[in-house]
Amino acid sequence: MSVAKVDGIGTRKDGSGGWTANQEKRAKYVRIGLYVDDAGAETTYYPGDWLAIEVKTGGGFQVTINGTATDAATYLGLGNMAVGADKNRTSGSDDALTFGVLSEQVTIGIGKYKMVTAQVEGVAFVGCTSGAAAGDKLVISTTALEAEKASAADNDASSELAIALADAVANASQSPVQSATAGHTCSALLLNPLRM
C-alpha cells in the first residue's frame, strides 16, 4: 500500500531509499477588508505585513461611505475588517486580534477599504525585527506591521503568531523584497492564532 499524500514540513522517505523534502506549505488564506481611517493618510501595504481584526469604533477608526463617516469595524460585519497590526496602536494593543500577514501589495486611500487576501496558516515570509532567529516564537511588535521574538513576559500577555524558520534578513538584501514596510523579514510557520 502506498502513501497518497504526506503532509507537513521536513523530509520523508521517497520510496527509493532516499529522502525527499516535503513541499506542502499547508497555506490557508482568508479574504478580509483592509482599511485606512478617514483621518489618516493613503497607505501602501506589502506582502508580509501583519494584520489584526478591527474592533474599535468611533473617530479614528472610520471609513467614508457615501460621504458619511462609518465605523470600519461594523461596516462589513464585526470581524470582517482588518487594520495593520501594532502593539502600540491608539486605544489599545492589537495583541489578541492579530491573525496573519498580507499576501499582496495594496494601496488604500484615505477613508477607503479594499478586500485583500491574508495568509493565516502555513509557511510565509513575514515582516519581523532584526533580532528574530530560527526557532523563535514571534509575537506582534511595538513597531507597526512587524513581529518580534517573544520574551518570557510575552508568554502570558501576547498571542504567539508564528515560529521563525530562518534568521531575519534585511529586506534590501532580498530579491524580490518581501515586505517594504518592515526593515527585515524571515520565513516563518504561521500558527493561525484566531483559528480562521
What pLDDT does 135 receive?
92
Indicate the number of domains in the chain. Answer: 1
In a domain, 116, yes or no: yes
DSSP string, the chain: ---S---SSSEEE-SSSSEEE------EEEEEEEE--TTS--EEE-TT-EEEE----STTSEEEETTEEEEHHHHS-TTSEEEE--TT-TTS--GGGEEEEE-S-EEE-TT-EEEEEEEEEEEEEEEE-TT--TT-EEEE-SSTT-EEE--TTHHHHS---EEESS--EEGGGSSS-S-SSSSEEEEEEEE-TT--
In a domain, 6, yes or no: no
Note the pLDDT tens digit of each residue in 128-172: 888 888 999 999 888 888 898 887 766 555 688 999 998 887 765
Q: What is the model's pTM?
A: 0.83
- Domain span at residue 158? 28-191
